[in-house]
Copies of this chain bind each other. A is one copy, B any other.
Amino acid sequence: MRAVIITRPGDSKVLEIHELPTPEPVADQVLVRVRAAGLNRADIGQREGNYPAPAGSPAHIPGLEFAGEVAAVGPLVTKWKLGQRVMGIIGSGGQAEFLLSHEGMLVEIPANLDYIQAAAIPEVFMTAHDALFTQGGLQMGERVLIHAVGSGVGTAAVQLAHAVGATTYGTSRTQKKLEQAKPLGLTMGMTDANFAQEVAQATNGEGVHMVLDVVGAPYMEQNINALTTWGRMVFLATMGGKQANVDLLKVMMKRLTIRGCTLRSRTLDEKMTVTRRFATQVVPLFAHGSVQPIVEEIYPLHEIAHAHDVMEENKNFGKLILRID
């Protein structure tokens, strides 16, 4: 099989397409013929040697999400048949012609989506769904502030929150991304300098019930100020800094909850739970069209290095997808 290979830590030139032996499924494993694979910013860290794959994953093959069809099944597999169209997340190894997945980590692709669209879904929608609903307990009608709303997770989050009747506030440093997020269900966008003040004005001083953050330390004080009583802050990354100063008295008086979480470091059973909840709660919304994958650009396998260069410019609004014919 053909696969993207990280030949050594470095810039995009270290990425090559190699021919490797196709793996064989054992036990509860499913062999997937990958048709499309999403790119993620974490791929850059993995390529540079700063974000290692979890143990047991093919660390030299990048790729955290994929869409394709079932090509073979191990003897213990009960849920899948040859030819079924599936998508999923994986610790590493998605950017290859074939991969092995635990059968509990796969989700059937709704009939109205093609492989390219499906490959743009798992990582950002599972992350956003888990963060907003499972970790943050977002309820219908609540107000939520989504930082980096023009990012992959941001555009997924704003759609999911909008789909359950939440009022959505979003920040981005790029005015154009705020405009692009409007049709996805963004109630009000703001550039980030004084977001707590803007939230206060927009909510009659009441604040939001939830904040979804990826910035970390520089936003902490404003996040706390932006939250209303019993508010929840969930953060998925600390791109602006990890050593945050927290006013515990405010947290206490407002009865706030601060929770950090990542998908990647979770155990298999935890990831299967996330996958199952996603299949139950989010896939139907794709099927009836109330949320949709956002694809910015499609690259053939041999343009992987160029795709990384584009991703590093951080100008894309939607997902970059690798097509594996």
List residues of chain A with CB under 8 Å of any chain B CB: 216-217, 220, 235-238, 242-249, 251-262, 265-266
Contact = CB atoms under 8 A, between A and B. Distances in A.
6 contacts: A243-B247, A243-B248, A244-B245, A255-B262, A256-B259, A257-B258
Contacts of A259: 251, 255-258
Contact of A260 (B242, B245, B254): B254
B249 A246 contact: no
B253 A265 contact: yes
A255 B244 contact: no
Contacts of A262: 252-253, 255
Contacts of A252: 235-238, 260-262
A63 to B, nearest CB: 22
Copies in the complex: 2
A216 to B, nearest CB: 5
B249 A242 contact: yes
Contacts of A216: 248
A101 to B, nearest CB: 23
Contacts of A254: 260
Contacts of A244: 245-246, 248
A260 B265 contact: no
Residue of A237, A245, A248, A262 most packed against chain B (CB within 10 A) = A248
Contacts of A255: 259-262, 265-266
Contacts of A237: 252
Residue of A247, A254, A260 most packed against chain B (CB within 10 A) = A260
Contacts of A248: 216-217, 220, 235, 238, 242-244, 260
A238 B216 CA distance: 22
A304 B192 CA distance: 54
A260 B252 CA distance: 4
Contacts of A247: 242-243
A156 B65 CA distance: 48
A260 B224 CA distance: 12
A249 B50 CA distance: 14
- List 8 A-B pairs, minimum CB-CB distance, nearest first: A252-B260, A251-B260, A242-B249, A258-B258, A257-B259, A255-B261, A238-B248, A242-B248
A258 B258 CA distance: 5
Nearest to A267: B229
Given A243-B247, A258-B259, 12 more contacts: A216-B248, A220-B246, A242-B249, A244-B246, A244-B248, A248-B260, A251-B260, A253-B265, A255-B260, A255-B261, A256-B259, A258-B258
Nearest to A263: B255
Contacts of A242: 247-249
Nearest to A215: B248
